[in-house]
Amino acid sequence: MAYVAHDESDYVPPAEVEEVELYHPKTFIGKYIWSQDAKVIAIQYSITAIAVGLVALVLSGIMRLQLGYPNTFSFITPGTYLQFVTMHGMIMVIYLLTALFLGGFGNYLIPLMVGARDMVFPYVNMVSYWVYLFAVLLLMASFFVPGGPTGSGWTLYPPQAILEGTPGASWGIILMLVSLAFFIVGFTMGGLNYVVTVLQARTRGMTMMRLPLTVWGIFMATILALLAFPALFVSCIMMTLDSLLGTSFFMPAIVSMGQQLDYGGGSPILFQHLFWFFGHPEVYIVALPAFGMVSDLISVHARKNIFGYRMMVWAILAIGALSLVVWAHHMYVSGMNPYFGFFFAITTLVIAIPTAIKVYNWVLTLWRGNIHLTVPMLFAIGFVFTFINGGLTGLFLGNVTVDLPLSDTMFVVAHFHMVMAVAPIMVVFGAIYHWYPKITGRMLNDTLGKFHFWATFLGSYAIYYPMHYLGFLGVPRRYYAMGNTDFLPESAHSLNAGITIVALIVGAIQVVFLYNLVWSYFKGKPSGGNPWGATTLEWQTPDTPPKHGNFGPTLPVVYRWAYDYSVPGVDEDFIPQNQPPGEKTRGLEET
């Protein structure tokens, strides 16, 4: 490696990352509909995901109505209740969170943050979105077919998923399986892009260890997803064949509704293994991007480098690798060989260690920082608090013995909503408040943002923290109604009603957020290119919002890591990644 003296550093050799030829469309449709620009695709993904997420939010409101006030609403029957449970879960986990984090944030941020003009395969990227949209439409179509959507729970366990006695066992489940298969195909197209872009299209000087943690999180999550989604794909295909062609992959001998069925020898446990081989990494597919983004939010708004960057990267890798060997902790009471419990309890609790390290490092980043309590920062703090809570209850469920009384109860529901719903959603909100100025050129309204934060943060804690205790009492999940039982105190029903009221309020308040998104797009305060004083490349683009091609005539050259905040001896409290050594930082006021 040739040594070049510092005074030559203004010399920029020709880029060794080849210039990509971008397809620049002329028409509106080409620009905004059939677009190959990752940023437009990102927004398409995000809007679709949020729209379908709103459907799922409404479904959850209906479920809460039933749980809080049983036998009051005639349109909620046991069948529709289960259908709502299923659709809510599946939409939120796959079609909202996975699509939003990887398809939305991944598409927007990866090329900008690594200093690329676009994804490496823009055409495939575009097809990825349209396949995703088709999957969403297929799923939504299941509301309108005979029998309605499937009501087999988001885990779709056979045999019941494809048998009479479960709603949507004929049309609904097939649409669900086919939709998932399409989602996986679409995702694989996108995922190839994310991985190869990070590997091959980083700009000059952007070593892996100079990547912002956001990119690390999305990168690792995509790798996990690429390896884990095939498991879901396999189980979808085999269950579709079981249902339509009468094979017996998952179906043992069964008497359904008094009739001997023509199945035999199959193993329902096999499905569960395949499902959770996908299902557990799925948790981290959602969590890792959230971890990455929240690291950047905390660092930027505390004006301090992320504490222990290397440890953070290693933790992401460790979590990613370990998450492939913990799946059966979802199956402690599934009837699988109980000796597996020992192995999976150990691996599961081991994964707590790198996760805990990440939490410590976030908090230690705040320590001795200069913390701006902006809306993104508030959401980041909200995330850390929620995630600590949800992570710790995970230690209950991951430890095989402690799981026994709690498995399949409301404790599980409370736990995974805390850790997988509220915590990532906090990051989603924080990230939107943080990057909205880059996407639109305008700030989101601060007052509305703060109101939105407090209502969402306090409200969701009030929903899910007490819910754990319903689980201790023994209230099972996926129960349409408890009825009169002798082991539940009357007060447990009042608690359920209370949770419902809070949930409906929190759900309704999200309208404020949507309003803010729309209002600020037209009326928001102009933000300039780098309102937060951040170092990463997406804030250094010549245009805000960035044009197709991102970086103007020449790609930026990276000279430093992503966390040069408050470097001693430098006037400004941040140094952009593309600022050559010895140059003065462009101040906030100049932008």
Partner 1 sequence: MTIALVVAAAIVAIIVGWLLRQTLNTKPWIEQQHPIENVRAESAWSLPPVKVGLGVFLAVATSLFALFISAYFMRRMGADWNTLADPMVLWWNTALLCLGSIYFQRARTAAQRGQIDGVKVGLLAGGAFTFAFLAGQLWAWQQLNASGFYLATNPASDFFYLLTALHGLHLLGGLWVWGRTTAKVWRGFEVADVRLSVELCTVYWHFLLVVWLILFGLLLST
Partner 2 sequence: MAVAIVLVLLVVGSILFHFLSPWYFTPIASNWGMIDDTVTITFWVTGFVFVAINFFMAYAVVRYRYQKGRRAVYEPENKKLEWWLTGFTTLGVVAMLAPGLFVWAKFVEVPKEASVIEAIGQQWHWSFRFPGKDGVLGTVDTKYVSVENPFGINTDDPNGQDDVLIASNEVHLPIDKPVKVLLRSTDVLHNFTVPQFRVKMDLVPGMVPYIWFTPTRTGKFEILCEELCGIAHFAMRGSVVVEEQTAFHTWLSSHPTFAQSSSRGAGDAVAGDPLYATCAACHGPQGEGNLALNAPKLSGLQDSYMQRQLKYFKQGARGTHDEDVFGKMMAPMAATLVDEVAIENVVAYIKTLPDKPAPATVNGDAAHGKKIYATCGVCHGPKGQGRWSTNAPRHAGMSDWYMVTQLKNFKQGIRGAHPQDMYGPQMGFMADLLVDDQAINDVVAYINTL
Contacts to partner 2 from residues 60-89, by CB under 8 A:
70-74, 77-79, 82
Using the rule CB under 8 A, is 267 a contact of partner 2? Answer: yes
Q: Which residue has the tokens 């779709």?
A: 156
Using the rule CB under 8 A, is 321 a contact of partner 2? Answer: no
Which one, 230 or 573, has the nearer CB to partner 2? 573
Please choose, from the candidates 201, 200, 180, 190, the residue with its C-alpha nearest in 3D space to the C-alpha of residue 223.
190
Using the rule CB under 8 A, is 570 a contact of partner 1? Answer: no
Which one, 56 or 251, has the nearer CB to partner 1? 251
Using the rule CB under 8 A, is 29 a contact of partner 1? Answer: no
Using the rule CB under 8 A, is 346 a contact of partner 2? Answer: yes
> How is residue 296 written in tokens?
């950047």
Interface residue with partner 1 among 57, 85, 99, 231 (CB under 8 A) is: 231
SS3 262: coil
Using the rule CB under 8 A, is 526 a contact of partner 2? Answer: no
Which one, 241 or 473, has the nearer CB to partner 1? 241
Interface residue with partner 1 among 192, 285, 375, 381 (CB under 8 A) is: 192
Q: Which residue has the tokens 């990644």?
A: 577
Which one, 155 or 267, has the nearer CB to partner 1? 267
Q: Taking the CA atoms of 140, 145, 149 and 150 in sequence, report the sign of the dihedral they define.
A: negative
Give dist(CA 433, CA 151) in Å, integer: 36
Going from the C-alpha of 532 to that of each of 354, 373, 377, 391, the distances in angstroms are 29, 12, 11, 30
Q: Tell me which of partner 2, partner 1, none is bound by residue 557, counting a contact when its beta carbon lies within the kind-specific cut-off of 5 to 8 angstroms.
A: partner 1
Interface residue with partner 2 among 2, 5, 245, 255 (CB under 8 A) is: 255
Helix (H) or strand (E) run with residue 500 in it: helix 490-523
Interface residue with partner 2 among 54, 133, 141, 392 (CB under 8 A) is: 392
Q: Tell me which of partner 2, partner 1, none is bound by residue 163, counting a contact when its beta carbon lies within the kind-specific cut-off of 5 to 8 angstroms.
A: partner 2
Using the rule CB under 8 A, is 203 a contact of partner 1? Answer: yes
Which one, 157 or 219, has the nearer CB to partner 2? 157
Using the rule CB under 8 A, is 245 a contact of partner 1? Answer: yes
Going from the C-alpha of 489 to that of each of 70, 468, 484, 502, the distances in angstroms are 16, 15, 10, 21
Side-chain half-sphere CA neighbours of 290 within 13 A? 32
Residues of this chain, 378-437, that bind partner 1 according to CB under 8 A: none
Interface residue with partner 2 among 333, 505, 514, 518 (CB under 8 A) is: 333
> How is residue 152 written in tokens?
């087999």
Residue 381 CB partners (closer than 8 Å, separation 6+): none
DSSP-assigned letters across all residues of 75-115: T--HHHHHHHHHHHHHIIIIIIIIIIIIIIIIHHHHHHHHT
Q: Tell me which of partner 1, partner 2, none is bound by residue 29, counting a contact when its beta carbon lies within the kind-specific cut-off of 5 to 8 angstroms.
A: none
- Residue 10 DSSP symbol: T
Please choose, from the candidates 577, 571, 557, 576, the residue with its C-alpha nearest in 3D space to the C-alpha of residue 17.
557
Q: Residue 72's Cα: distance from chain center in Å?
A: 34
Using the rule CB under 8 A, is 588 a contact of partner 1? Answer: no
Interface residue with partner 2 among 151, 289, 292, 533 (CB under 8 A) is: 151
Tell me, residue by residue from 405 to 434, as one string, x for binding to partner 2 by CB under 8 A and - for no binding.
Answer: x-xxx-------------------------
Please choose, from the candidates 207, 104, 203, 47, the residue with its C-alpha nearest in 3D space to the C-alpha of residue 435.
104
Q: Which residue has the tokens 């504490």?
A: 307
Using the rule CB under 8 A, is 511 a contact of partner 2? Answer: no
CB of 113 to partner 2, least distance (A): 20
Residues of this chain, 162-201, that bind partner 2 according to CB under 8 A: 163-167
Number of residues that bind partner 1 (CB under 8 A): 73
Which one, 3 or 487, has the nearer CB to partner 1? 3
Q: Tell me which of partner 2, partner 1, none is bound by residue 231, counting a contact when its beta carbon lies within the kind-specific cut-off of 5 to 8 angstroms.
A: partner 1
Using the rule CB under 8 A, is 448 a contact of partner 2? Answer: no
Which one, 122 or 533, has the nearer CB to partner 1? 122
Q: Tell me which of partner 1, partner 2, none is bound by residue 201, counting a contact when its beta carbon lies within the kind-specific cut-off of 5 to 8 angstroms.
A: partner 1
**Using N-to-C axis directions, what is the helix angle for 171-200 and 78-90, rounded to 10°?**
10
Interface residue with partner 1 among 73, 123, 144, 314 (CB under 8 A) is: 314
Using the rule CB under 8 A, is 349 a contact of partner 2? Answer: yes
Residue 222 CB partners (closer than 8 Å, separation 6+): 102, 106, 191, 194, 195
Give dist(CA 71, CA 67) in Å, integer: 9
Give dist(CA 590, CA 583) in Å, integer: 15
Using the rule CB under 8 A, is 337 a contact of partner 1? Answer: no
Give dist(CA 239, CA 310) in Å, integer: 43
Give dist(CA 391, CA 416) in Å, integer: 9
Residues of this chain, 113-132, that bind partner 1 according to CB under 8 A: 120-121
Residues of this chain, 254-293, that bind partner 1 according to CB under 8 A: 264-267, 270, 273-274, 277
> How is residue 141 written in tokens?
């179509």
